[in-house]
Amino acid sequence: MPTANYGEKVMTLVFWLAAFLITAILAVIIGYIVVKGFSVLSLDFIFTPPSRAGKEGGISTTIVSTLYLVLGSLLIAVPVGVASAVYLEEYARKNSRFAYIVNLTAETLAGIPSIVFGLFGFVFFVIFLGWGWSILSGAMTMAIMILPTITRTSQEAILAVPREYRENSLALGASKWQTIRKIVLPSALPGIATGIILSIGRAVGETAALLLTAGSSLGMPMSITDPARTMAVHLYILAMEGISLERAFGTAFVIIVLILIINYAAHYGMRRLSALGR
């Protein structure tokens, strides 16, 4: 049947073209920003604070702000997220209503758009608790946003720990919590780390929610109650208000490089995790 063969050949071509198109889109986006951004980059750009609203100078304060916000949100989200995962996987009973609701809530949280988190952070942390536009408000908001990622990946990592590990530990007379702390969590560490790395990626790129909760002040934050402008927010303002396209490229370049590193690290972590499962 020559017609059928012809149709299948066309189909094969379409499949490969789709894959090629996806690759091309990625290459163009990253390539464009890397090429245009690289010429802007210098040590000065990274280590000097911006001046004249970002028209001149570097991006040092936004790098520091980003760092503070990422660290702050991890400080809150990691303990809570991992603890929840341990509870859900190791303590909650099969078919427990509570576990079902928590899981469902996590899914729902993961689907809420960042602008809605921003609105919540604004009305709750900034206004209601009176923390103002600050690193504290931003980090708390961000923490809620990354909580589902950390819990999900930790749950998976814990689930991948072989059952025999637990059995052997219990057989040696260890208690449940000892088993979890000394055996389960260390074995699940690569997976948990992957979740944390992915969360860092999300926090580095987050814009909408932080604009509404951490503010957009360009100064160097001195305490957690100071407002701060992250790199992502800086990029948005530079580009949207047409302040400096050149510096926008530089900022986008730094963000992209960070994301590439984070992605590679997460990929590496995932591989470790799947090796453990085997």
Q: For residues 23 and 39, which CB has a smaller minimum distance to other proteins in the complex?
A: 23
The reply on whether position 100 binds other proteins by CB under 8 A is: yes
Q: For residues 15 and 222, which CB has a smaller minimum distance to other proteins in the complex?
A: 15
Q: For residues 113 and 219, which CB has a smaller minimum distance to other proteins in the complex?
A: 113
Number of residues in contact with other proteins, rule: CB under 8 A? Answer: 106
245-274 residues near other proteins, rule: CB under 8 A = 245, 248, 252, 255-256, 259-260, 262-263, 266-267
Q: For residues 4 and 222, which CB has a smaller minimum distance to other proteins in the complex?
A: 4
Q: For residues 171 and 222, which CB has a smaller minimum distance to other proteins in the complex?
A: 171
The reply on whether position 11 binds other proteins by CB under 8 A is: yes
**Half-sphere exposure of residue 227: CA atoms within 13 angstroms, side-chain side:** 17
Q: Least separation, in Å, of the C-beta of 91 and other proteins?
A: 5
Length of the chain: 278
The reply on whether position 78 binds other proteins by CB under 8 A is: no
The reply on whether position 97 binds other proteins by CB under 8 A is: no
**Residue 170 in tokens:** 């219990």
- Pick one of 198, 218, 228, 243: the residue that binds other proteins (CB under 8 A): 198
The reply on whether position 116 binds other proteins by CB under 8 A is: yes
Q: For residues 12 and 39, which CB has a smaller minimum distance to other proteins in the complex?
A: 12
Question: Is 226 in a helix, a strand, or coil?
Answer: coil
Q: For residues 222 and 275, which CB has a smaller minimum distance to other proteins in the complex?
A: 275
The reply on whether position 41 binds other proteins by CB under 8 A is: no
Beta strand pairing call for 56-57 and 50-51: antiparallel
Neighbours of 248 (CB within 10 A): 23
Asked if residues 80 and 115 have their Cβ atoms less than 8 Å apart, the reply is no
43-62 residues near other proteins, rule: CB under 8 A = none
Choices 38-46, 54-62, 63-71, 89-97 (CB under 8 A): range interacting with other proteins: 89-97
Residues 6+ apart with CB under 8 A from 42: none
Q: DSSP label at 48?
A: S
**Residue 246 in tokens:** 């050149």
- Pick one of 6, 13, 21, 274: the residue that binds other proteins (CB under 8 A): 21
Asked if residues 253 and 34 have their Cβ atoms less than 8 Å apart, the reply is yes
Quote the CA–CA distance of 191 and 150 in Å, as a whole number: 10
Asked if residues 53 and 218 have their Cβ atoms less than 8 Å apart, the reply is yes
- Pick one of 34, 92, 257, 276: the residue that binds other proteins (CB under 8 A): 92
Question: Is 190 in a helix, a strand, or coil?
Answer: helix
Q: Which of 154, 231, 161 is nearest to 198 (CA)?
A: 154
The reply on whether position 147 binds other proteins by CB under 8 A is: yes
Neighbours of 49 (CB within 10 A): 16
